[in-house]
Structure 1
Amino acid sequence: MLTLLMANYLSLFNWVLTTSAKASIFIVFLLGVKFVLRHKLGARFQYMLWSVLIIGLVLPWTPNTPISVYNYLDSSHIQQKIAAIVDRTTQSFSTIVNTNKSGVNQTVVVDSNSNKAVVSTETQRPSDGNANSWTAFPIVYKLMYYIWLLGILILTVLTVIVNKQFSKDIGQARVTDLSLLSEFNSLKVELKIKTEIPLFKSRHVNSPSLLGLIYPRLLLPIGIEQTFSLEQVNHIFLHELIHFKRKDIWVNWLTQVLIICHWFNPLIWYAFYRMREDQEISCDALARSRIDTEQSNDYANTLIKLAETYSTVPRVEGLASLCGSNSQIKKRLIMLQNRKIKQASVKWSLLGVLVIGLIAFATFTSAQVNASPALEGRDLNVSQEIRGGQASGLTKGIADSTSGITVEDITGPSFKGKVMLIKDPTRVKLAVTKEIGVKGERVSELVKNMGAIAGINAGGFYDPNGKGNGAYPDGLTVQDGKLVDNNVGEKEVNIVGFDDQGKMVLGNMTANQLEGQHISEAVTFAPNLIVEGKSAISGDGGWGIAPRTGIGQMADGTVIFVVIDGRQPTWSIGATLRDLMNVFEDYHAVNAVNLDGGSSSEMVHQGKVLNKLWNIFGERYVPTAFVVTP
């Protein structure tokens, strides 16, 4: 349970960071559009544009679209670095040496889905200049997480204290002036407001202000009736009642919550500061639309007089005030004098909606991947075989009779995922990036380059030069019977692969030992989950909860691909190693091994990504993939 809660918290933190980054890009574009069209868009419309930012910050999930900016970024370096940092902080680094029941010692290698499995002291590479930073990443990221929580706690406490103290200080002195009450009640009737909004006088407010979410009240500075004429007081009442009618206090509280969650992002602070300015200007525009030309001039004089008489209002989230800073008052006066804006806004509003809508879709959505099974144009049959078990529940199965592949959905206590069954094991091959040491490839590219039908990510990788592009396979890599990469010399590492008869081979081996095993395809990874029908995992596996990828084989030779989604609180948190092992047991695997997971976990079929990737950049660059040939 504790592990599940931690995974939820880290998933929330990852979501906040990702959303904050997307919002920053949107804010820059939004401010640019507002500047270019500042003389074309009406004040109320400009205020409405900020609602797009609010919606983008609160949505727990956004779709993958072809117009996302992340489709067109050369993002391999950024993507790999972000993914690596996130992967390495789901759990702490440690060295794990597992002993399975068959007596084979396993040397654990780099796992980008948890970093709980690392290169043992025997297999670390002295040439890797990033070894120190590698182990520092999870510490730094966890420190960031706790600093973020501390910042939220401090700001929340301060916000509550300031607002409670302010509410306590204002007192309960009701306004008894009949002329003020008459003007106020008349305006309420005119605006069709039935809610009881009492008037109070207080020496602790220096500007007329609306306060309160559930029990709203209008606060007036003492002596306002002597300073302002009854008509000017009427303008003040109108402005504040428009705030109430538009639910601006609710909006202000929501933005304050978002600021607290994203307190580390100065662009969001600035954006909501600008939004509050637009809120007042928009309110002025609505008020002006309800009064004639002569009164409009008097409304402007009221603003000037407020600026001269009262200082800036206190920064209280539950407060909506007519007054503001001198620069804000100046902007509002310019707006009141500019009558062309009101007329021009109608014909430019459509353009503004279109531009901001496109920007929002381009910045808040993720790179396009198709997360639906894609077997169009084939003979599909629903699989009726239901496998019971504690780890997974089969929700549906789709059999592709022309390719001999079955894809099934699985669910567990904290995860959702995909299982792919390949009846003929000799069709499973290893795809390796064409540019080892230069650049990795996406799983979909590896599948396509091999002329294959389907595939999953395979072995782990390391990053000796800090490029973060998935170029360096870790351990021993065998393709078509040839050792194509070896970064461990003659040291033993745990390998997983297939011999030339299609039988799964797993266990500790050296490069020389590979030759005698007739191994056709293999990568290095660990730990083994099931060996010769027996469980090789104790407890939950000790790696925490994360996206997972695994490969196994049944007694009849059927190969099992498993990919489990994670780090998506509204979809799938992830799985432990025991969860993954239980899935293989449910499918009657006699051998099964954990593969690289986390940001790398991916299943592709017919050019489509079947699982839901959490990364905004879409597919990660990896060095190897197990693929299914025609």
Structure 2
Amino acid sequence: MLTLLEANCLSFFNWVMITSAKASIFIIFLLGVKFVLRHKVRVGLQYGLWSVLLVGLVLPWTPNSPASVYNYLDASRMQQMIVSILDRAIPSSAADLKSQPSALDPVTVLGRNSPKAALNPEPQRSKAENAHSGTASLFVYRLMYYLWLLGVLVLTVLTVSINKLFSKNIGQALPVDQELLAEFKKLQAELQIKKDISLFKSRHVISPSLFGLIHPRLLLPFGIEQTFSREQINHIFLHELIHFKRKDIWINCLCQVLLICHWFNPLLWYAFYRMREDQEIACDALAATRINPEQSYDYAYTLLKLAETYTTAPPIAGLASLCGSNSQIKKRLIILRNRKLIRASAKWSLLAGLLIALIALVTFSSAQTVTNPISLEKGQNVKVSPENNQAFGAAEGTADTSSGITIEDIAGPNYKGKVMLIKDPTRVKLAVTQKIGVTGEKVSELVKDRGAIAGINAGGFYDPNGKGNGAFPDGLTVKDGKLVHNSVGEEGVNIVGFDDQGKMVLGNMSVSQLEERHFRQAVSEAVTFAPNLIVEGKPVISGDGGWGIAPRTGIGQRADGTVIFVVIDGRQPAWSIGATLRDLTKVFEDYDAVNAVNLDGGSSSEMIYQGKVLNKLPNIFGERYVPTAFVVTP
């Protein structure tokens, strides 16, 4: 099971992996645009374009968009594999439902004319193979997580140690002479910088460098007055103060943090190398606009002299240095010589900005799910749990009185989700993928197939081909009173469904028992999943349920017949981590359920109403392919 800390860590790791993949695609396009328009776009904008990457890397969530590239990867094997592995790695359902205890003897039968499902031994062997594959995938994913965590810890320790040692060493720095300090303060005033920036000389810097977030200091190497003229030193001051004015120290620190989190991604290392290069060029360009054209030659000569005299500054967070590699210095000299690049065409710069904005929309947004979450509004009634005084419901504003459906928000300490109440239980039916054994369907498609107006994902599925595409429902599946799929042979499994009167039935059942008891009562709709949460008004979950924290889906029924759909979001640190089985049980208790069962969760958890996804899916690819859904007919 997952503790809250483990759920948070794995959710963060999942977010890092997804964000890193998105960023890699964006970087490739960004570098392409920069290459094509390299002589047409202003150098300041060349640097500014990197800010889009930074924003994309720090956003905790991104909007769904019909323009997202992931819409076109919707049915790809890559999508199915990623989601399938993630669900195995962050458990949300039992590995073997047959082993789950049932607290209720079922009173369910099939009709006399229901066909007995033929048992296919091949899927059974494939299912066993899939169990082994799932264990291997879980091991690999967790190994990836621990390797990533180790890399983060090592880089964090190194970064902190290097910066602390550097800070300690420069603590012995000496103040510069008053004449040099006066020149520095004069230039600082001209740039309208009010922050007090200290000026020191130190034996521990190998090039002029601006250091410090809270207490910034400009550090000069010893002997710089003997090597450079007063005018050249002023050029150095100007460049470093522009770094400060542009907040480049803060940006460099943010880049270092992002590199620690994404240390495994070589594209990001290269991107930030190029970004630092553009940062220096942008500072040169701004400096060139503040000096006379006649002084540009002397500024360029200062860069050459710095490259000859000092080496590149060490990679320290919070450090901005004038020096760079020989190739960087060469590029900067070319820019300074061709002043047209400093003031390039505004229309080309605008085009570049629009292109990058479009690329960001395409690469950083998630697949379109027609998302329309319903939220609490001021003045709406709120239901309060007496146990923890936790407000978790919305009221009249989300009720569809014409259809007998009410939708409410729920929230707990670590989760947010949706509850749907269906007054007439006979309207709840089961939708099964039309391509059973080939591929599943999205919940929205299953709702549409059945001509319904709402629905949630239902039973689990097994994965004989490693695709995770929802083709094979797990256990026993009954639709319209007929057994349409059997993956367990004669073994008993926990089923949940409804009889032809709309009463919920749940409990352990085998296919032979269904056939033997068909005279007593018909099972109209049923899927296989577990565990039961509430049976005949009594909670049957002990502790937190033992399944950890994850996205959840459940179904229950009140004594008056009202059916309760519950979907809880998860794996989204900035929105909802997820819920335990005990949390899910508590929701059903607060809604007065007399019977309730856990359904398939994880990336499958989804609620649809009038063609829209109501909850926030944790999957950048949008809706997952599943074999079954409980739907609400008109």
TM-score of the superposed pair, with normalisation by structure 2: 0.91
- Asked whether the equivalents of residues 462 and 474 of structure 1 are also in contact (C-alpha less than 8 Å), the reply is yes
2:115 match: none
Deviation at 1:76, TM superposition (A): 4.3
CA–CA distance in structure 2, aligned partners of residues 383 and 551 of structure 1: 25
- Partner of 2:291, secondary structure, is coil
Deviation at 1:480, TM superposition (A): 1.1
Deviation at 1:463, TM superposition (A): 1.0
1:542 match: 546
1:229 match: 229
- Partner of 2:359, secondary structure, is helix
Counterpart amino acid of 1:132? Answer: H
CA–CA distance in structure 2, aligned partners of residues 94 and 455 of structure 1: 25
- Give a deviation string over 1:349-404, Cα, whole Å, max 9, x none: 221221111111221121122443589xxxxxx99694745487442122212212
CA–CA distance in structure 1, aligned partners of residues 320 and 383 of structure 2: 59
**Consecutive aligned runs of 4 or more in structure 1 exceeding 6 Å deviation:** none
Counterpart amino acid of 2:212? Answer: G
> Given the alignment, which residue of 575, 590, 595 partners 1:591?
595
1:167 match: 167
1:618 match: 622
Deviation at 1:282, TM superposition (A): 0.5
Is 1:415 matched up with 2:410?
A: no
1:125 match: 124
1:511 match: 511
Deviation at 1:345, TM superposition (A): 3.8
CA–CA distance in structure 2, aligned partners of residues 337 and 226 of structure 1: 27
> Given the alignment, which residue of 554, 557, 572 partners 1:568?
572
- Partner of 1:296, secondary structure, is helix
CA–CA distance in structure 1, aligned partners of residues 454 and 102 of structure 2: 30
Deviation at 1:181, TM superposition (A): 2.7
- Give a deviation string over 1:274-296, Cα, whole Å, max 9, x none: 11000100000001111111100
With 92-101 and 45-54 compared, the bigger mean Cα shift is at 92-101
2:3 match: 3
CA–CA distance in structure 2, aligned partners of residues 370 and 94 of structure 1: 32
> Given the alignment, which residue of 394, 419, 422 partners 1:396?
394
CA–CA distance in structure 2, aligned partners of residues 152 and 408 of structure 1: 40
2:468 match: 468
Q: 1:286 to 1:328 in 2, by over 3 A?
A: same
Deviation at 1:530, TM superposition (A): 1.4
- Give a deviation string over 1:477-522, Cα, whole Å, max 9, x none: 1111111111111111111111222221111111122232411111
Pairing of 1:293-372 with structure 2 (within 5 A): 293-372=293-372
Deviation at 1:138, TM superposition (A): 2.1
- Asked whether the equivalents of residues 557 and 594 of structure 2 are also in contact (C-alpha less than 8 Å), the reply is yes
Deviation at 1:557, TM superposition (A): 1.8
CA–CA distance in structure 2, aligned partners of residues 246 and 360 of structure 1: 23
- Give a deviation string over 1:229-283, Cα, whole Å, max 9, x none: 2221111111111111112111111110111111111111111111100010000
Q: 1:530 to 1:243 in 2, by over 3 A?
A: same
- Asked whether the equivalents of residues 383 and 399 of structure 1 are also in contact (C-alpha less than 8 Å), the reply is no
- Partner of 1:125, secondary structure, is helix
- Give a deviation string over 1:67-116, Cα, whole Å, max 9, x none: 22212324443232222222222249766744454468xxxxxxxxxxxx
2:118 match: none
CA–CA distance in structure 2, aligned partners of residues 491 and 428 of structure 1: 27
- Partner of 1:13, secondary structure, is helix
CA–CA distance in structure 2, aligned partners of residues 210 and 185 of structure 1: 15
Q: 1:75 to 1:22 in 2, by over 3 A?
A: farther
- Partner of 2:594, secondary structure, is strand
- Partner of 2:219, secondary structure, is strand
With 245-254 and 189-198 compared, the bigger mean Cα shift is at 189-198
- Give a deviation string over 1:544-586, Cα, whole Å, max 9, x none: 1111111111222221111111112222221111111121122
Deviation at 1:433, TM superposition (A): 0.7
CA–CA distance in structure 1, aligned partners of residues 606 and 334 of structure 2: 55
Q: 1:389 to 1:519 in 2, by over 3 A?
A: farther
With 298-307 and 395-404 compared, the bigger mean Cα shift is at 395-404
Q: 1:199 to 1:587 in 2, by over 3 A?
A: closer
Deviation at 1:528, TM superposition (A): 0.9
Two-structure CA RMSD over aligned residues (Å):
2.4
- Partner of 1:140, secondary structure, is helix
With 253-262 and 516-525 compared, the bigger mean Cα shift is at 516-525
- Asked whether the equivalents of residues 313 and 323 of structure 1 are also in contact (C-alpha less than 8 Å), the reply is yes
CA–CA distance in structure 1, aligned partners of residues 103 and 489 of structure 2: 27
CA–CA distance in structure 1, aligned partners of residues 382 and 161 of structure 2: 60
1:117 match: none
1:38 match: 38
Counterpart amino acid of 1:555? Answer: A
Deviation at 1:45, TM superposition (A): 0.8
- Asked whether the equivalents of residues 425 and 562 of structure 2 are also in contact (C-alpha less than 8 Å), the reply is yes
CA–CA distance in structure 2, aligned partners of residues 552 and 199 of structure 1: 70
Deviation at 1:5, TM superposition (A): 2.2
CA–CA distance in structure 2, aligned partners of residues 384 and 528 of structure 1: 30
- Asked whether the equivalents of residues 374 and 606 of structure 1 are also in contact (C-alpha less than 8 Å), the reply is no
CA–CA distance in structure 2, aligned partners of residues 58 and 356 of structure 1: 17
Query: Structure 2 stretches of 5 or more lacking a match?
Result: 107-120
Deviation at 1:412, TM superposition (A): 1.9
Q: 1:256 to 1:345 in 2, by over 3 A?
A: farther
CA–CA distance in structure 2, aligned partners of residues 60 and 430 of structure 1: 35
Counterpart amino acid of 2:210? Answer: L
- Give a deviation string over 1:393-424, Cα, whole Å, max 9, x none: 44212221221211122222222111111122
CA–CA distance in structure 2, aligned partners of residues 584 and 202 of structure 1: 67
CA–CA distance in structure 1, aligned partners of residues 306 and 382 of structure 2: 76
Counterpart amino acid of 1:33? Answer: V
- Give a deviation string over 1:447-471, Cα, whole Å, max 9, x none: 0011111111001001111122111
CA–CA distance in structure 1, aligned partners of residues 143 and 24 of structure 2: 23
Q: 1:2 to 1:610 in 2, by over 3 A?
A: closer
2:526 match: 522
- Asked whether the equivalents of residues 373 and 605 of structure 1 are also in contact (C-alpha less than 8 Å), the reply is no
Deviation at 1:7, TM superposition (A): 1.6
CA–CA distance in structure 2, aligned partners of residues 149 and 313 of structure 1: 28
Pairing of 1:483-522 with structure 2 (within 5 A): 483-515=483-515, 516=518, 517-522=521-526
With 288-297 and 2-11 compared, the bigger mean Cα shift is at 2-11
2:22 match: 22
Which fold has the larger relative contact order, with Cα–Cα distance below 8 Å and residues 6 or more apart in sequence?
Answer: 2
CA–CA distance in structure 2, aligned partners of residues 502 and 383 of structure 1: 31
CA–CA distance in structure 2, aligned partners of residues 383 and 207 of structure 1: 63
CA–CA distance in structure 1, aligned partners of residues 631 and 546 of structure 2: 29
With 277-286 and 178-187 compared, the bigger mean Cα shift is at 178-187
Pairing of 1:8-407 with structure 2 (within 5 A): 8-91=8-91, 97-102=99-104, 125-128=124-127, 129-170=129-170, 172-372=172-372, 386=383, 388-390=385-387, 393-397=391-395, 398-407=398-407
- Asked whether the equivalents of residues 389 and 582 of structure 1 are also in contact (C-alpha less than 8 Å), the reply is no
Query: Structure 1 stretches of 5 or more lacking a match?
Result: 105-121, 376-381
Q: 1:459 to 1:218 in 2, by over 3 A?
A: same
Number of equivalenced pairs: 608
CA–CA distance in structure 2, aligned partners of residues 531 and 389 of structure 1: 22
Deviation at 1:206, TM superposition (A): 2.2
- Asked whether the equivalents of residues 80 and 470 of structure 1 are also in contact (C-alpha less than 8 Å), the reply is no
- Asked whether the equivalents of residues 444 and 608 of structure 2 are also in contact (C-alpha less than 8 Å), the reply is yes
1:604 match: 608
Q: 1:535 to 1:194 in 2, by over 3 A?
A: closer
CA–CA distance in structure 2, aligned partners of residues 20 and 283 of structure 1: 28
